Structure 1
Amino acid sequence: MTLLDDVMDRTVSRRTFLRSSAAVGGGLMIGFTLPSAILPADAATGSEPFAPNAFIRIDQTGKVTFISPMIEMGQGTFTSLPMLVAEELDVDLTNVVVEHSPANAKLYGNALIGGVQMTGGSTSIRAFYMPLRQAGATARQMLITAAATNLKVDAAGLTTEPGFVVHAASKRRIGYGELVDAAAKLPVPADVKLKDPSTFRLIGTPVKRLDVAGKVNGTAIYGIDVKLPGMKVATVSASPVFGGKVASVDEAAALKVPGVHQVAKLDNAVAVIADHYWAAKQGLEAAAVTFDDGPHASVTTADVVAALATASEKPGAVATDKGDVAAALAKAATKVEAIYEAPFLAHATMEPINCTVQVKPDSCDVWVGSQVPDIAQAVVAKSLGLKPEQVTIHNHLLGGGFGRRLEVDFIAQAALIAKQSKDPIKVVWSREEDITQDMYRPYYFDRMSAGLDENGRLTAWSHRIAGSSIIARYSPSWMKNGVDPDAVEGAAEIPYAVPNMHVDYVQVEPPGIPTAFWRGVGPTHNIYVVESFIDELAAAAKKDPVEYRRALLADNPRALKVMETAARNAGWGTPLGPRKGRGISVQFAFGSYLSEVAEVTVADNGTVRVDRVVAAIDCGVAVNPDTIEAQIQSGIIFGITAALYGEITLKDGRVEQTNFDTYQMLRIDEAPKIEVEIVKSSEAPGGLGEPGTSALAPAVLNAVYAATGVRLRKLPIDTEKLKSESRSG
């Protein structure tokens, strides 16, 4: 059992979680109230604020505090989620203060991820759209009931306007703050009526981010900003080869550096503790740490790829099996085959890994930015031999997560370092440590086969995925019959109509190399493969890529609409200049339909510039169009970075990339023009944090083919191949 499975066991099962949600008409945990120990008393009266559920507090001034079940790492949840509460509660968003939730999966678990308290998988709005509306509506109903008693009128004759209960007949109104004491004494209603979407005042309107001011004026606090009395700072050097151990440390030399107080040793790493980061860094250099490389000292990227290629020659665990693919391929007028590769990728968040820990004899406090506060609490407790309730997690804004902060390796490490000191310790990794000790998006190796009839129509589809399983490590109980559901997402179900289809998965673990979720994870590789291969089929059928897809999407109106919208807005079919091309991709992933069109220019030396990206998204109900557009823009930039530059390689067991000079980011002068259209929809909300990234690479590669005639099947883009094989402009 992994730590995640253990956390799920001691909190709430998915089945129980969903049953308790359904019991309140779609609302989530509405019957729970926050423990008084974590409810701040009203400053003026000393009384507890009105807290009808785990998400809302209203004090006697009428101020509303929203306890966010999801963390904020730049994706806009601290604006979009309170919009849901404010809509149904009927308050102005400017009167809402947002706090991180404490570590408590029973109250703040994510129903779409098995009830774990986790921010990831583009699930924040999807998981909490109905629960938070229910929470706001419940509080509003209780305030109305309290007002009816106060005004001595029938509750049916009362309505609300932002922050007030109104009795239209007598033209009286009473502020929420005046009602909280009475409302707090009322039973929580088991069922309340939600607003009709036609009456929404906030949902669907573009609202500027509530957290922008703090990030601009410097008052926003990230994990790396934490300061405590008596705090010391540590930095770390871990074995450059995964699985290696510390061999020697010159502790005396480190202690001679001014400001250095202590050297802390772990099995695979050494930390130097000092008054400030620079002293710690200088002390670490003086310590001249050496390592026993262990069993993986000779591993190279070529070894990893060779193992994947060999494993992919044999059948894997079946994810999809429809019709008779073998027979259809045998009868096909044209057979197309291809192999695609996607490299290891680092997260390289703007805020490097950090964690502050204070260990006391019978308790521990942790200040960190984590996507999984409940799991963080559990790993610290396990590391220090404490009970989870003895560990307090103070969660902070994240300067980028992208899946890296779904992991708790660095939190456990910080706890073990702090255990060796009487002072609170802030552990900060260097950028080099951040990249070389990351947990990487897996290397994937895909074998594709398809059959076309005499008219070029797709009759057979075979897709074999070989790669590491993140799920098998993270939560084995989520594996089904040998299939990692993340590794096949975007491949097991594609938006196109295919009569005969087979998809299987071969789990291949790279020697010693840790793999983890990365913005988009499975779909970032599967959409790249599927949409690139669809373009190959269009070329084999001598069809325009949009026209070819249109025929395959005849029974998928939402996918068809986003494709046609993106193509129209991009001016598909209009001429471009020499060595310029357009490419398109279509996807259904994370509950949203998205199409992107990329326009590129390929220079004579093979370098690629993405000039323009046009996107159309159907994400169901659009809660905050401003955030939606920003998330697609952000995902596109992240995707371009990976497509052009992203690659982690190994030599002699060591990661070769160490900083932004060797793990390059897209520069501001390379950013394309981006246009986003949100397709109006009344369907349930879909995810947004990751779709923009996963749809980008195939659109760019298909555009490169249109510009040069060179088909690229390996990322990042091979400029030497383009230089040598491109047709003349």
Structure 2
Amino acid sequence: MNTFKLDRREFLTLTGVAGGGLLLGCSTSGNAPQAMFIKSDQPQKLNVFVSIRPDNRVDIINHRSEMGQGAKTGVVQIIADELDVDWEKINVIQGLGDRAYGDQNTDGSTSIRKFYTKLREVGASARAMLEQAAADYWQVDKSQVQAKQHKVFNLANGYSLNYGDLAELAANQPVPNVASLTFKSKEQFNYIQKPVPIVDLHDMTTGNTTYGIDVELKGLLIASIERCPVLYGRVKSFDASAAKAIPGVVDVINMPATVKPVVYTSGSGVAVIATNTWAANQGRKALKIDWDYGVNKDFDSDSAFADMANKAQNPAKRSAEKGDITAGFAKADQIIEATYQVPFLAHAPMEPPAAAALVTDTSCEIWAATQNPQAVMDNVAGIVGLKPEQIKVNVTLLGGGFGRKSKADFVAEAVYLSKQMGKPIKVVWTREDDIQMGYFHAGAVAHIKAGLDKRANITAWQQRSVMPSIKTTFDPSTEDMLDVELSLGFNDIPYQVESLQSESSGYQNPVRIGWLRSVSNIPHAFALHSFVDELAQSKGIATHKYLRQLYAQDRMINPAEDYGFKGYTNYDESLQRHPISIKRYKAVLDKLEQLVDFDEKLPAGQAWGLAIHRSFVSYVGVASKVEVKNGQLKVLQTQAVIDCGIAVNPDRVHAQIEGAMIFGLSLALMGRIDIKQGAVSQSNFHDYPLLRMQQCPQLAVEIIQSDEYPGGVGEPGVPPVAPSLTNAIFAASGKRYRVLPINQYLSV
């Protein structure tokens, strides 16, 4: 083969391609023309998510935090499918904190449902650029080429070019308009809706990964902080002499006082800086601190729940209404009412919060197990006197998060201490810190009253919800619950009711309030589905059959139109894209009835319970089988069914719902945070336990695959667990437990 050579400048002049391209080699052999490419040795960036290397490997950015839920795989699956790349040739790169990626807050089960369409556009756009580059090279219309599995083919003659060969030319193509993109059909998917193993699986299981607690830097010092146990308390004085005498302790620093609003700032306390974790913790134990416990020093959670229960019995701020509630109760054949209570809860991820920071006069770099790197950037900018975009946030793997690590307080602590010391500092929270000093899920009380006619139709439904609002973390003067909180399983009930009235009341927070996996759905679902079970039992109707009666019509519910709830948020989704569909509720019930024989004759003390709940625009049904004997509770089986629309990675959906059932059982059986004299009483897993292996039932998950837009997966499995459990306990024992957790009544 004869070829001619041009240097790069001559080539660019002749071809008009800026920034690199390819050169056609002339062949006299009659074989297919071959390309001789002038390549940079650097990856060629097609968009903010996709770069292609000269060696034909493709770098794909994951912009979300990976905490075991599989986002690092799911995000890449979607892009890779539309890009049509070979999975074995992908490098998955964890994105830094960067607003170019859009929202990076890995909360609210949003990684797939909020980005599914956009990520498909990212992959399709990069594919279109590669195809156009190949068309330009072959001097044919773009319709005559097709990208497939890491190559672009000439449809006329079968010739092909690797993505790596086209990288530079493709990188110089204009980004196509979204309207011009073509997308794969469901039948063409290579990775979407396929059980792709998580990308870090081998490294996770062999310990070859970096979590927040693993970060090592040259000259790194460790900080352990003794924090005031009462919110808004402060340090009056402290004696650090004994702490400084411990080998390895370098310094002791008084942290800034807790400010209002607390938001994500560090709390009052004293930090011990040492060369190793052991010395830091021992130095901390040796501190002598005189505290001013402040305004919350007398707060008692038992008294608070008594106040909330009283509020739930009285009229409050009305948020939704349908029909004439007075007339509805007047015509009822039977009136039933009940009050339900869920305690304050802690997140308790396996890896407590951890972050490292290196602050200099001109820069700030952070390594953190954070769910929200952009919040970190915003939160610490004032500490270091830089703009948020000047702060580099490296996101490590997270050993669980559940919403706790979306708060940047532990990162702010590392940044503050690094600035004070002029050295890299890693802050490591202990388990006791995690249980006692975190952001807690609000304790809540709900009261529901309903009128039934002789056929068990609901003539009137009145409900009240009382809890400290999440907004108190950002505005302590907040007195009411937010519309978004009332949108979470409260003012969007799916049942056929003739009249409805919803009211709510806030409560002043004694601790930092923060969202926890499935947020206000936890107390609302517990109350809602427990109460429906009570209605069914009062009429002697099996709950699964009664649900069919309540799901009377295949309709779409619009809380604004049906209940007058103008503030309905629908998990920040449109009702056009994600309607509230009774048909999908019924489909979950159908599948549960196929999998579980609810009418099965069981031994004495055994029974099934169930609950079906929509949250994060997905529908989940949970059936729990229990045995209650001699004051001992055993959970025997738990069957879940989820309709989350398109399940991008079914393997991760299974894993997330299994994890949600374990998480939900931990909370329902044993989860409880008590506050005495303003401080959290619990401190570790001995008094805030998680489900043990011998307590775990047989778990089963069924996915209803559909063509609906993807819904959330990480959180929707939690809310129905508690009511399915307590409903089963009632069916097995005749005892109704309306105040969680269960271990205050039964041995678990």
**Alignment partner of 1:540 is 2:534:** no
Task: Return the match for 1:60 from 54, 60, 81.
Answer: 54
TM-superposition CA deviations, 1:314-358 (whole Å, max 9, x none): 433333211222220122111110000000000111111111111
**Alignment partner of 1:694 is 2:719:** yes
Partner of 1:434: 434
Which amino acid in the other structure matches residue 200 of structure 2?
Answer: D
Q: Is the 8 A contact 1:608 1:644 kept in 2?
A: no
Q: Aligned partners of 2:475 and 2:208: how far apart in 1? A: 37
Which amino acid in the other structure matches residue 485 of structure 2?
Answer: D
Partner of 1:86: 80
Q: Aligned partners of 1:197 and 1:472: how far apart in 2? A: 45
Which amino acid in the other structure matches residue 639 of structure 2?
Answer: V
Which amino acid in the other structure matches residue 217 of structure 2?
Answer: L
Q: Aligned partners of 1:248 and 1:218: how far apart in 2? A: 42
Moved more, 652-661 or 500-509: 500-509
Q: Aligned partners of 2:453 and 2:465: how far apart in 1? A: 25
Task: Return the match for 2:697 from 650, 672, 688.
Answer: 672
Shift of 1:50: 2.6
Partner of 2:460: 460
SS of residue paired to 2:523: helix
SS of residue paired to 1:326: helix
Shift of 1:718: 4.7
Task: Return the match for 1:127 from 89, 108, 114.
Answer: 114
Q: Aligned partners of 1:700 and 1:71: how far apart in 2? A: 32
Q: Is the 8 A contact 1:122 1:687 kept in 2?
A: yes
Q: Is the 8 A contact 1:580 1:599 kept in 2?
A: yes
Q: Aligned partners of 1:379 and 1:576: how far apart in 2? A: 56
TM-superposition CA deviations, 1:677-703 (whole Å, max 9, x none): 111211111110011111100000000
Identity value in percent: 37
Moved more, 632-641 or 188-197: 188-197
Partner of 1:193: 182
Shift of 1:250: 2.1
Which amino acid in the other structure matches residue 709 of structure 1?
Answer: G
Which amino acid in the other structure matches residue 138 of structure 2?
Answer: L
Q: Is the 8 A contact 1:356 1:414 kept in 2?
A: yes
Q: Is the 8 A contact 1:356 1:368 kept in 2?
A: yes
Q: Aligned partners of 2:409 and 2:313: how far apart in 1? A: 34
Shift of 1:47: 5.4
Q: Is the 8 A contact 1:334 1:451 kept in 2?
A: yes
Task: Return the match for 2:681 from 649, 656, 660.
Answer: 656
Shift of 1:295: 2.1
Q: Is the 8 A contact 1:643 1:697 kept in 2?
A: yes
Which amino acid in the other structure matches residue 620 of structure 2?
Answer: L
Task: Return the match for 2:171 from 184, 194, 201.
Answer: 184
Q: Aligned partners of 2:111 and 2:655: how far apart in 1? A: 16
Partner of 1:517: 515
Shift of 1:568: 2.3
Q: Is the 8 A contact 1:91 1:161 kept in 2?
A: yes
SS of residue paired to 2:520: helix
**Alignment partner of 1:504 is 2:503:** yes
Q: 1:204 to 1:474 in 2, by over 3 A?
A: farther
Task: Return the match for 2:220 from 231, 237, 246.
Answer: 231
Task: Return the match for 2:659 from 606, 616, 634.
Answer: 634
SS of residue paired to 1:127: coil
Correspondence 1:283-362 to 2 at 5 A = 283-362=283-362
Q: Aligned partners of 1:52 and 1:235: how far apart in 2? A: 44
TM-superposition CA deviations, 1:207-228 (whole Å, max 9, x none): 1211211101222211111100
TM-superposition CA deviations, 1:436-477 (whole Å, max 9, x none): 10110000011111110111112211111000111454599x
Shift of 1:45: 6.3
Which amino acid in the other structure matches residue 374 of structure 1?
Answer: Q
TM-superposition CA deviations, 1:698-722 (whole Å, max 9, x none): 00000000100101101101543x5
Task: Return the match for 2:647 from 622, 646, 662.
Answer: 622
SS of residue paired to 1:499: coil
TM-superposition CA deviations, 1:23-48 (whole Å, max 9, x none): xxxxxxxxxxxxxxxxxxxxx96555
Task: Return the match for 1:205 from 190, 194, 198.
Answer: 194
Q: Aligned partners of 2:489 and 2:98: how far apart in 1? A: 31
Q: Aligned partners of 1:480 and 1:496: how far apart in 2? A: 29
SS of residue paired to 1:691: coil
Q: 1:639 to 1:612 in 2, by over 3 A?
A: same
Partner of 2:559: none
Q: Is the 8 A contact 2:66 2:398 kept in 1?
A: yes
Q: How many residues align?
A: 669
Q: Aligned partners of 1:94 and 1:553: how far apart in 2? A: 47
Partner of 1:173: 160
Moved more, 333-342 or 362-371: 362-371
Q: Aligned partners of 1:386 and 1:175: how far apart in 2? A: 43
Partner of 1:109: 102
Shift of 1:417: 2.0
**Alignment partner of 1:602 is 2:628:** yes
TM-superposition CA deviations, 1:475-496 (whole Å, max 9, x none): 99xx999634124411110222
Q: Aligned partners of 1:611 and 1:146: how far apart in 2? A: 59
Partner of 1:570: 596
Structure 2 gaps of 5+ residues are: 1-37, 258-267, 554-581
Q: Aligned partners of 1:347 and 1:525: how far apart in 2? A: 15
Q: Is the 8 A contact 1:315 1:506 kept in 2?
A: no
Which amino acid in the other structure matches residue 669 of structure 2?
Answer: L
Q: Aligned partners of 1:471 and 1:211: how far apart in 2? A: 36
**Alignment partner of 1:251 is 2:206:** no
Q: Is the 8 A contact 1:588 1:594 kept in 2?
A: yes
Q: Aligned partners of 1:609 and 1:456: how far apart in 2? A: 32
Q: 1:417 to 1:497 in 2, by over 3 A?
A: same
Q: Is the 8 A contact 2:439 2:513 kept in 1?
A: yes
Q: Is the 8 A contact 1:469 1:487 kept in 2?
A: no
Shift of 1:628: 0.7
Query: RMSD of the alignment, in Å?
Result: 1.9
Shift of 1:170: 1.5
Q: Is the 8 A contact 2:40 2:54 kept in 1?
A: no
Q: Is the 8 A contact 1:594 1:618 kept in 2?
A: yes
SS of residue paired to 1:98: strand
| TM-score normalized with structure 2 length | 0.87
Shift of 1:52: 2.4
SS of residue paired to 1:690: coil
SS of residue paired to 2:435: helix
Q: 1:317 to 1:211 in 2, by over 3 A?
A: farther
SS of residue paired to 1:702: helix
**Alignment partner of 1:215 is 2:208:** no
TM-superposition CA deviations, 1:274-298 (whole Å, max 9, x none): 1100011111112233322222222
Q: 1:584 to 1:75 in 2, by over 3 A?
A: same
Partner of 2:29: none
Shift of 1:624: 1.0
Q: Aligned partners of 1:640 and 1:482: how far apart in 2? A: 27
SS of residue paired to 2:410: helix
Correspondence 1:360-439 to 2 at 5 A = 360-439=360-439
TM-superposition CA deviations, 1:39-78 (whole Å, max 9, x none): xxxxx96555332222211111222222122111111111
Q: Is the 8 A contact 2:609 2:724 kept in 1?
A: yes
Which amino acid in the other structure matches residue 598 of structure 1?
Answer: S
Correspondence 1:5-24 to 2 at 5 A = none
Q: Aligned partners of 1:241 and 1:155: how far apart in 2? A: 66
Which amino acid in the other structure matches residue 633 of structure 1?
Answer: E
Partner of 1:151: 138
**Alignment partner of 1:527 is 2:525:** yes
Q: Aligned partners of 1:319 and 1:46: how far apart in 2? A: 61
SS of residue paired to 2:115: helix
